[in-house]
Amino acid sequence: SKESKAQEFQERIDNGETIEPKDWMPERYQKQLIRMMSQHAHSEVVGMLPEGNWITRAPSLRRKMILLSKVQDEAGHGLYLYSATETLGASRQEVLDDLLNGRAKYSSIFNYPTLSWADVAVIGWLVDGAAIINQTMLARSSYGPYSRAMVRICKEESFHKKQGYEMVAQMADGTPEQQEMIQDAVDRWWWPTLMMFGPHDEDSPNSAELIKWGVKSKTNDELRQSFVDRHVQEAHAVGLEIPDPDLEYNEETEHWEFGEIDWDEFWNVVRGNGPMNKERMKTRREAHENGKWVRKAAEEYARKQRLQKEK
Ligand code: 3HC
């Protein structure tokens, strides 16, 4: 019966077993994973846009080559995750349509503008730093294709973070203008990065189910706290300030306590009214339109291949 299958499934999860595409799984588990993995993929693809904006204006050939390879990595992460989502029966076409029609979400962080080169440094350090904390956890998630994709992605993310933090350290130790630029970028990106981890646990409708099924093993607030603990130290190590007057180290808990997030801003951005939401979607729709000829050529090539085989 369905109950006994669900019971058996939960036992597999509780034993720390990995669920593979062909295994029986509750429909809800499948739906949750399609939602989470496809939106993760959308985040990677839209995530190319803020930094891509600076590839033609990188301050040196070395920085240009590093940024080029980072943005190409993000594209690859998107493709792994779309492929992993397909193992759950969600076609690439339908999840892409969901994004382009504005039905699907992607990470709020990519709806902020990249105003100076210092933003590229801070995105590498903070945004990829947040992604590492989140994805290191997801590398242990119960769904095989997802956790395996995360293992590969985490390796590339640590390079992304290192190159970002190297630039942050250099600018923080640079000319007064560079110091001002990098502090300004930290001021603009700090709070939106905290929002990447999602609403507080008590306001997170999906967390309980995802934890029960071993997809998430830490809550939004736990991940956010470890992000703050690590990155406050890294900021202070290079002489940068965190734009939070309530930030205070608690000797007891050994955690940095921090101020309240502006949840109106968060939901505003998630609902599509952030600073750059319209531009990001416009760029994605245009890119999809401009890529139509490639898809047609690939389909025609595949058709000819099939004809060849049938001869
Ligand atoms: N941006 C946009 N939407 C968000 C969000 C954010 N920062 N945080 C939460 N939401 C949405 C959720 O998607 C959910 O809406 P939905 O049910 O329509 O999908 C709603 O707000 C409620 O949030 P929940 O906490 O209940 O949702 P989750 O339990 O799924 O937690 C999450 C949200 C932490 C984003 C989780 O889905 C997750 O870990 N996803 C996988 C990782 C991911 O997507 N990371 C994106 C970062 S970009 C990145 O890593 C690329 C790197 O290279 C920079």
Tokens encoding 192: 């939106």
C-beta 123 within 6 A of ligand 1 = no
Specify which residues 139 forms β-bridges with: none
pLDDT tens column, 23-48: 999 999 999 999 999 999 999 999 99
Average per-residue pLDDT in the chain? 97
- pTM over the 0.90 mark: yes
pLDDT tens column, 62-85: 999 999 999 999 999 999 999 999
Q: How far is CA 25 from CA 138, 145, 146, 229, in A?
A: 19, 14, 15, 37
| Closest C-alpha among 111, 68, 57 to residue 276 | 111
| Rounded Cα gap, residues 300 and 306, in angstroms | 10
**What value of ipTM does the predicted structure carry?**
0.96
Centre of ligand 1 from the C-alpha of residue 106, in Å: 7
pLDDT tens column, 92-121: 999 999 999 999 999 999 999 999 999 999
For a pocket test of ligand 1, which of 206, 209, 211, 221 has the largest count of ligand atoms closer than 8 A to its C-beta?
206
Q: How confident is the model at residue 3 (pLDDT cuts 50, 70, 90)?
A: confident
| pLDDT surpasses 90 at 278 | yes
C-beta 210 within 6 A of ligand 1 = yes
| pLDDT surpasses 90 at 238 | yes
Q: What is the mean pLDDT of the segment spanning 119-133?
A: 98
The pLDDT assigned to 2 comes to: 80
Q: What is the mean pLDDT of the segment spanning 173-194?
A: 98
| pLDDT surpasses 90 at 296 | yes
Q: What is the mean pLDDT of the segment spanning 82-89?
A: 98
| pLDDT surpasses 90 at 182 | yes
| pLDDT surpasses 90 at 311 | no
C-beta 39 within 6 A of ligand 1 = yes
Question: Which residues, including other chains, have CB under 8 Å from residue 302's CB and lie 6 or more apart?
Answer: none
For a pocket test of ligand 1, which of 28, 32, 43 has the largest count of ligand atoms closer than 8 A to its C-beta?
43
| Rounded Cα gap, residues 75 and 88, in angstroms | 21
Tokens encoding 64: 């240009």
What percentage of the chain reaches a pLDDT higher than 90?
A: 98
